[in-house]
């Protein structure tokens, strides 16, 4: 066994300018004091080294294969810092062996907790009720098409069949500009298919849609278009309010008909 010992004064290890101090075991570096003041456990402070732990300027830096970093600092009893990936890789924190677990994040302001991220979703202003957590947000497009119930067909224009949606929690907000490219003696009810999510099965959650504009149809004078999303559906039913009753409208559609539709429905 070899021993380095100092009696009565501090033990100093010194290296030349821009050189590091390394402590090794069996030829393998276990601790490095870099010339810039960083202390690395388990290897060099180079970000290409696996499983690196570094302490520098009061910060704790963790890296894995040079692709993920966690930089944190403890101040006034609170651990603060950031988690990021310089290569664009996904960074995950997990608890109890899963990607969700019981890990919670609480961004704070001077007035307290602003938001809390838990396994239930995102909660705001100190609210801890799981039913109030925002568990989903999504934006995207959907491809719409006309569908006739009885006979004939209405071909949808590929230039006017893209709808847009935003999903927030259990509500889907959508809008669509749609028009036909061909008409072949359509008869019966008219549906617009392709909604991005299936509506709720609850009969109390049938959702009306707003037809903002409907141009160039053969709809009888005094009638107006109406639209509805039923239960467990991915389509909008388009009808006409005629004499207080909902009537089929497929036969009223012409090659010049255009619909501008918007609304929302629940899942």
- State the pLDDT confidence band at 259, using cuts at 50, 70 and 90: very high
- State the pLDDT confidence band at 48, using cuts at 50, 70 and 90: very low
Q: Which two tokens stand for residue 123?
A: 């909660």
pLDDT given at position 24: 83
Which of 92-101, 131-140, 143-152, 206-215 has the least mean pLDDT?
92-101
Among 13-22, 51-60, 112-121, the range of highest mean pLDDT: 13-22
Structure pTM? Answer: 0.61
Provide DSSP, the chain.
------SSS-------TT--EEEEETTEEEEEE-TTS-EEESS-S-TTSSSEEEEETTEEEEEETTTEEEEEEEETTEEEEEEE-TT-------BTTBSSTT--B--EETTEESEEEETTEEEETT---GGGSB--EEEEEEE-EEEESSEEEEEEPTTS-EEEEEEETTEEEEEEEE-EEEEEEEES-EEEE--SSPPPS-GGG-EEEEEEEEES--PPTT-EEEEEE-TT-SEEEEEEEETTEEE--GGG--TT-EEEEEEEEE-
Between residues 262 and 101, the one the model is more confident about? 262
- State the pLDDT confidence band at 206, using cuts at 50, 70 and 90: confident
pLDDT given at position 265: 94
- Computed over every residue of the chain, the mean pLDDT equals 77
Check whether domain 18-91 has CATH 3.30.450, yes or no: no
**Residue 77 clears pLDDT 90, i.e. is over it:** no
Q: For the chain, which residues make up each domain, given as ranges? A: 18-91, 93-135, 139-266
């Amino acid at each position: 066994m070899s021993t380095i010992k100092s009696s009565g004064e501090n033990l100093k290890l010194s290296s030349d300018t821009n050189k590091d101090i390394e402590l090794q075991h069996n030829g393998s570096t276990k601790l490095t004091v870099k010339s810039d003041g960083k202390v690395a456990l388990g290897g060099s402070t180079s970000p290409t080294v696996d499983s690196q732990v570094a302490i520098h300027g009061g910060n704790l830096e963790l890296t894995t294969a040079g692709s993920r970093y966690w930089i944190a600092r403890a101040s006034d009893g609170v651990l603060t810092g950031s988690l990021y990936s310089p290569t664009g890789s996904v960074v995950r924190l997990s608890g109890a062996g899963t990607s969700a677990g019981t890990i919670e994040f609480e961004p704070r302001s001077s007035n307290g907790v602003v938001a809390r991220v838990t396994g239930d979703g995102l909660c705001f202003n100190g609210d801890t009720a799981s039913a109030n957590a925002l568990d989903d947000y999504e934006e995207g497009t959907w491809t719409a098409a006309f569908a006739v119930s009885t006979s004939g067909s209405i071909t949808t224009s590929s230039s006017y069949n893209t709808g847009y949606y935003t999903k927030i929690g259990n509500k889907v907000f959508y809008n669509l500009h749609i028009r036909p490219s061909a008409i072949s003696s359509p008869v019966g009810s008219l549906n617009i298919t392709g909604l991005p999510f299936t509506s709720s099965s609850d009969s109390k959650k049938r959702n009306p849609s707003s037809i903002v504009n409907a141009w160039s149809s053969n709809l009888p004078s005094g009638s107006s278009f109406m639209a509805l999303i039923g239960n467990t559906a991915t389509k909008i039913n388009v009808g006409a309010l005629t004499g207080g009753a909902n009537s089929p409208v497929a036969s009223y559609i012409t090659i010049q008909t255009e619909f501008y539709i918007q609304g929302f429905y629940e899942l």
